[in-house]
């Protein structure tokens, strides 16, 4: 199926994902800790604006040790427009993150991506930068397109939907037929698909109707069946 091919194309046989998002500091400058397991993958999202809020290059937001211990670590970005993965980006300690297209190194808040740790030890990552604040928007391609997204708001919450009576959700602009794919680290596979139906909400055998829990710095796959939408969020320091 197309869904399976798209979701597994970059990872082949994904072995694991992040073991937790660690700590977030709710100030103008924040930090988020993520640990990517040894010889494993994580489906992440950049939660902060790096280097004075202007530089979201991988070399700024995810600088790795320059001792060679994590050489070969790779990042896979899915292009929501072309519906295909971009060329793989890799870390080389003597040069930093390398990409065939330099612009591919820029990953802004709101976009999700896979990170592969090829080392035999866990890879700790600290995102450090400015917290996105104000009225935040994320384009969500529709018409049955796939995309890897992440919340711009630095808090963990259920995905929810616009108008959800539970106001402590991410208020995603869902429509009937939208599907969410969450990668689960325990069985090292995608969880059961979650699908939205207007009225009840997000349908899943174990999750509540408010949908899957989306943590800080966590990416997720979405297939949106209706028209293009804008995911609007708001955040102010201290929330």
**Domains, the chain, with CATH or none:** 2-130 (2.60.120), 134-234 (no CATH)
Of 88, 53, 47, 93, the residue nearest 70 (C-alpha): 93
Residue whose entry in the numeric block shows the structure tokens 């599907």: 179
Distances (CA, A) of 134 to 44, 106, 108, 174, 235: 22, 22, 16, 22, 5
Report the DSSP beta bridge partners of residue 139: 230
pLDDT for position 238:
66
| pLDDT < 70 positions in the chain | 1-28, 186, 238-239
pLDDT for position 2:
37
pLDDT for position 50:
87
pLDDT for position 97:
97
> How many CB atoms within 10 Å of residue 156?
15
Distances (CA, A) of 200 to 46, 191, 205: 31, 20, 13
Residue whose entry in the numeric block shows the structure tokens 């612009």: 103
pLDDT for position 184:
77
For residues 209 and 202, is the Cβ–Cβ distance under 8 A?
yes
pLDDT for position 167:
83
The tens digit of pLDDT for each residue in 45-90 reads 999 998 777 799 999 999 999 999 999 999 999 999 999 999 999 9
Of 37, 42, 239, 22, the residue nearest 152 (C-alpha): 239
Query: What is the DSSP secondary structure assignment for residue 168, as one 8-state letter?
Result: S
Cα gap 125→164, rounded to integer Å: 33
pLDDT for position 5:
35
Cα gap 164→201, rounded to integer Å: 9
How far is residue 13 CA from its own chain's centroid? 19
Name the E strands within 156-228. Answer: 157-158, 179-181, 183-184, 189-190, 194-197, 201-203, 213-214, 219-224
b/e burial code for range 163-178 (CB count within 10 A of at least 16 → b) = ebeeeebbbbbbbeeb
For residues 180 and 222, is the Cβ–Cβ distance under 8 A?
yes
Name the E strands within 39-155. Answer: 41-45, 74-76, 78-79, 84-85, 89-92, 96-98, 112-116, 123-130, 134-140, 145-150
């Amino acid at each position: 199926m197309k869904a399976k091919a798209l979701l597994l194309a970059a990872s082949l046989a994904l072995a694991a994902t992040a073991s937790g998002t660690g700590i977030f500091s709710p100030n103008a400058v924040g930090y988020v800790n993520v640990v990517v397991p040894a010889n494993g993958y994580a489906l992440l999202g950049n939660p902060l604006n790096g280097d004075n809020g202007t530089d979201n290059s991988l070399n700024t937001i995810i600088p790795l040790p320059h001792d060679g211990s994590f050489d070969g670590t790779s990042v896979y970005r899915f292009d929501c427009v072309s519906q295909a993965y971009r060329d793989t980006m890799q870390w080389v300690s003597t040069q930093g993150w390398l990409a065939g297209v330099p612009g591919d190194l820029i990953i802004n808040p709101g976009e999700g991506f896979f990170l592969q740790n090829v080392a035999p030890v866990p890879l700790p990552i600290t995102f450090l930068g400015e917290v996105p604040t104000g009225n935040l928007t994320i384009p969500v391609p529709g018409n049955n397109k796939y995309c890897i997204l992440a919340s711009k708001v630095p808090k963990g919450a259920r995905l929810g939907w616009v108008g959800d009576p539970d106001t402590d959700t991410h208020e995603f602009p869902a429509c009937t037929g939208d599907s969410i794919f969450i990668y689960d680290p325990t069985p090292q596979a995608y969880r059961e698909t979650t699908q939205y139906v207007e009225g009840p909400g997000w349908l899943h055998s174990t999750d509540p109707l408010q949908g899957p829990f989306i943590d800080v710095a966590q990416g997720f796959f979405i297939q949106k069946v209706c028209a293009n939408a804008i995911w609007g969020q708001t955040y102010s320091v201290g929330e």
